[in-house]
Chains A and B, each alone.
Chain A
Amino acid sequence: MSSRSRRAERSARGITALVAAALLALLVAACEREHREYESKAPPPTPANEAVRVGDLQPGKPQPPRMDPHGRSFEGNAWHVNQGARLYKWFNCTGCHAAGGGSIGPALMDADWRYGGSIEQIHASIAQGRPNGMPSFRGKIPDDQIWEIAAYVRTLSGNAPKYVEGGGRQGMAVAPPTSRLPKLEPKTTESSQ
């Protein structure tokens, strides 16, 4: 082999080593979005950490909304959103909300949220129940599963990280895949319908 091709082989080997090192680094980092966590180790909720504001009106200097890191972690995880889709059917959310378009219950695919559209507020609505027909599911659906359903509901209005958007669903096509839905930022409405 000529010295030139020997140099070429050496630089090729160098590149290979670099790539291998990068792969190893990635291995350590892993990808949280794909992680399958079957059961969270978070402590069960107590009334104190359930304080969620369901309306924007407040006296004095407005406080920023409270974010729940445990709940937020469900939003960015494809597995949890997928489980939420399953539970949405299992627990008959479709009975009042249809596939997100609403029937006797309000639509979940639009930007109008009477009690707030962040994941914490949706979680609170499911757990506590709401006037005019939304049952309270606390103690009926385990708390992590309520987070999963809330994370799925967020995708119905396009408010999920792009990566975890669901794709085509099996069964009758009652709604477009969530990756095709427009993103509608939630705004709290005063509607009392």
Chain B
Amino acid sequence: MSQQVLAPAADQAQAIATVWQTMFWPNVVIYMAMLAALAWALWRRRAVVADAAVQARQERNWVRALVAWIVFIALVLTAYTAVSFVQDRHRLAHAPDALRVRITANQWWWQVDYLDPDPSRQVGTANELHLPLGRMTRIDLLSGDVIHSLWIPALNGKEDLIPGRSTQLALTPRAIGHYRGECAEFCGLQHAHMLLPVTVESPAAFAAWLDARRAPAATPASPSAVRGQQVFESGTCAMCHAIAGTSADSHAGPDLTHIASRPMLAAGALPNDRAHLAAWLVDPQAFKPGTKMPNPRLQPQEVSDLVDYLEGLR
């Protein structure tokens, strides 16, 4: 997954990279010049005796140089400020036909809702974000508990998610690929494991993905998967998680309707495969100590059935 600030894949990150390039190279030159001036001051050849008139003239020259230096710094800083201001306007620009998404951050997972004027077409998912190429997506950022921050370095700068306030982030991706998003404001025990994998795809692929997300959960195919659904709905799982199309409808924890097609588990704590899912269900605290998911204390057969069921939820 790409996440270099200096490898921008969206308009907003490109604006920021321009600011970086504008400031970085002149700064390097200024630094080298300062070191050179220092070296010259220390090691220049000096006359053995400096008479008073010469000293006075040298001092006057240095005073003139000081004034010039102040003017120079002021000009450089003005240029930096101007570039920064202009690129910030680009970064914050709106588009009228932007895709609207709402992300609510919780300790330690992301709730992602694709908004639509028609409520029946809204899509809710968790810990994954898909974006259409070339079109602006405007994300409303909310928090369910403490201050978090959404940072997708390849696409834009970060924006905090603050309880009691709503902030915004705009993304206009220009390259198809997978990008890493993460929480960037210290939010407690598992701040390190709060990833948001972002996938940028063609508009057609994106529309297909969104349609697939709208559908309720796949019905379990095998007998073990049927048992697994039974475990889910009648045990501890349904107390916190929802799977559309079943009786499990709690929104305390992430929605699991299409869990099997997500790139990672537990907001980036684990890769999403059978073995890791089973291990997670046996002891979530071993992988993400402090996570709000308690140990469900399942029997081995229950774990196996549950994994069969969840792995079918594409």
Contact = CB atoms under 8 A, between A and B. Distances in A.
Q: What interface size band does chain B fall in?
A: 10 to 19
Contact of B236 (A39, A44, A86, A140): A140
Q: Which of A86, A141, A142 has the most CB of B within 10 A?
A: A142
B236 A139 contact: yes
A142 B297 contact: yes
A142 B252 contact: no
Nearest to B295: A39
Interface in B195-238: 234-236, 238
The dominant DSSP class at the B interface is loop
A145 B235 contact: no
B249 interface: no
A170 interface: yes
B294 A142 contact: yes
- Interchain residue pairs A-B with the least CB separation, the first 6: A39-B285, A38-B285, A90-B252, A142-B294, A145-B294, A38-B289
B290 A142 contact: no
Given A39-B285, A86-B292, 17 more contacts: A36-B290, A38-B289, A39-B294, A39-B295, A91-B239, A91-B252, A139-B235, A139-B236, A140-B235, A140-B236, A140-B239, A142-B294, A142-B295, A142-B297, A144-B295, A145-B294, A170-B163
A90 B240 contact: yes
A170 B163 CA distance: 10
A185 to B, nearest CB: 31
Contact of B239 (A36, A39, A86, A141): A141
B247 to A, nearest CB: 13
B289 A142 contact: no
Given A36-B290, A38-B285, A38-B289, A141 B163 contact: no
B296 interface: yes
Nearest to B240: A90
B279 to A, nearest CB: 14
Nearest to A144: B294
A170 to B, nearest CB: 7
Nearest to B163: A170
A150 to B, nearest CB: 15
21 contacts: A36-B290, A38-B285, A38-B289, A38-B291, A39-B295, A44-B297, A90-B252, A91-B239, A91-B252, A139-B234, A139-B236, A140-B236, A140-B238, A140-B239, A141-B239, A142-B236, A142-B295, A142-B296, A142-B297, A144-B294, A145-B294
Contact of B290 (A38, A144, A145): A38
B282 to A, nearest CB: 11
A142 B297 CA distance: 7
B283 interface: yes
A39 B293 CA distance: 10
Interface residues of A, number: 15
Contacts of B295: 39, 142, 144
A90 B252 CA distance: 6
A66 to B, nearest CB: 23
A36 B239 CA distance: 24
Interface of A: 36, 38-39, 44, 86, 90-91, 139-145, 170
Contacts of B240: 90
A39 B288 CA distance: 12
A37 to B, nearest CB: 10
Contacts of A44: 297
Nearest to A139: B235
Nearest to B239: A140
Contacts of B290: 36, 38
Nearest to B291: A38
Contacts of A170: 145, 163
A85 B189 CA distance: 18
Nearest to B292: A86
Q: Which of B239, B289, B297 has the most CB of A within 10 A?
A: B239
Contacts of B285: 38-39
B148 to A, nearest CB: 15
A38 B289 CA distance: 7
Interface in B266-302: 283, 285, 289-292, 294-297
Contacts of B283: 39
A77 to B, nearest CB: 15
Contacts of A36: 290
Nearest to A44: B297
Contacts of A139: 234-236
